[in-house]
Amino acid sequence: MAKKQEDRFVTLDNGEVAKATFPIVVFASRSTDIPAFYADWFFNRLKKGYSAWTNPFNGVKSYVGYADTKFIVFWSKNPRPLLRHLDYLKERGIGCYIQYTLNDYEEEGLERGVPPIAERIETFKLLVDKLGKGAVVWRFDPLILTDKINMDKLLQKIENIGNHLRDYTEKLVFSFADIISYRKVKTNLERSNIAYQDWTQVQMIEFAQRLVELNQNTGWNFTLATCGESANLHGVEHNHCVDDRLMVRFGYHSSELMQFLGAKIIDSTNSGSLFAELEPVEIPCDAILLSDERFAIIEKNNRDKGQRTACGCMKSKDIGEYNTCPHLCEYCYANSSKEVAVNNWNQHKLNPLQDTITGR
């Protein structure tokens, strides 16, 4: 009889045995930029079979095993270091896609730690060439209004990037900076003397309308989607950043993943069936097209009920840790201070093979 999930263990680097969780879907990460700064660490831990994670609310250390992992959702502002590791995922039969936050706040200095915009656009294209169109999702997130950035300027920035990515992405995800509701963001901006403005509902509606028009007039025809926004904006979907449909599309080769997601592959031609002379199967409107002859449907509700009401993400295990991202973006929600983040980054560099991100 198979062991229950809670009864499974990993062997630690020091030879001790510890209880661990074994997620099928891993998220890397909302809490820090693992691809940009900790890619080598993560893939080393993937090969080792586990990593350690510290709960940000109670400080308790726990362990994540990777024996069952079949899909990884990466989140990054500079995922170029992933390029040297993606072949290993293929060898392991692990699928992935990337939520690529590709903003342009160069002139305003809001993202001083990221590479130049031209280099980041090139990285986007290289990743699409490697993973396929649709597996790299463009995010312009968050949209920030300041004394130096108005709606016109934001739309100009989006248009410039969008023109470069028109053949490389299917979707543009965005959100409006909700500064008042996030204490860390508000504090970080005020420390840097950034004269921010919170979005009003009227401004959100106007911006969405203008973005929809831009999408049509340029011929991009991107799917437009908001992240974590409760407002229903005409021509804009609500995004699912940890998206079971994308997992099926780029991970359907794994029967374990498909079973976990409650997904089923169907041959639309009935070929190979005893009843092949029947009419082709009608493809449902919500089907996930896999090829000219096959599609998939998801028969399970995978939404993570523990997330915000406006969040459409499914359940996954985030293995990142707060206060570890040295991008040092002025509006950061994941760092309590730049000093703490830099100290943790330096500590990691002293012990890059430890089972924790921080090297402690």
Name the domain count of the chain: 1
Beta bridge partners of 238: 226
Max Cα distance, the chain (Å) = 71
Q: Is residue 280 part of a domain?
A: no
242: tokens are 């940890």
Model pTM above 0.85: yes
Which residue segment(s) compose the domain that 18 sits in?
5-244+307-350
What's the one-letter identity of residue 340? V
CA–CA dist 221, 120 (Å, integer): 22
Tens digits of residue pLDDT in 208-225: 999 999 999 999 999 999
How would you classify the pairing of strands 61-65 and 50-54? Answer: antiparallel
Q: Is residue 279 part of a domain?
A: no
Q: Which residues contact 271 (CB under 8 A, 6 or more apart)?
A: 293
Tens digits of residue pLDDT in 45-59: 999 999 998 887 888
Q: Is residue 263 part of a domain?
A: no
What pLDDT is attached to residue 3? 45
What pLDDT is attached to residue 274? 47
Q: Is residue 357 part of a domain?
A: no
List of the chain residues with pLDDT < 70: 1-6, 270-280, 310
Q: Is residue 184 part of a domain?
A: yes
What pLDDT is attached to residue 6? 58
CA–CA dist 125, 133 (Å, integer): 9
What pLDDT is attached to residue 278? 54
What pLDDT is attached to residue 77? 98
Q: Is residue 274 part of a domain?
A: no
Q: Where are the alpha helices (DSSP H) in the chain?
A: 34-37, 39-48, 86-92, 117-131, 151-165, 183-191, 201-218, 244-251, 255-261, 338-350
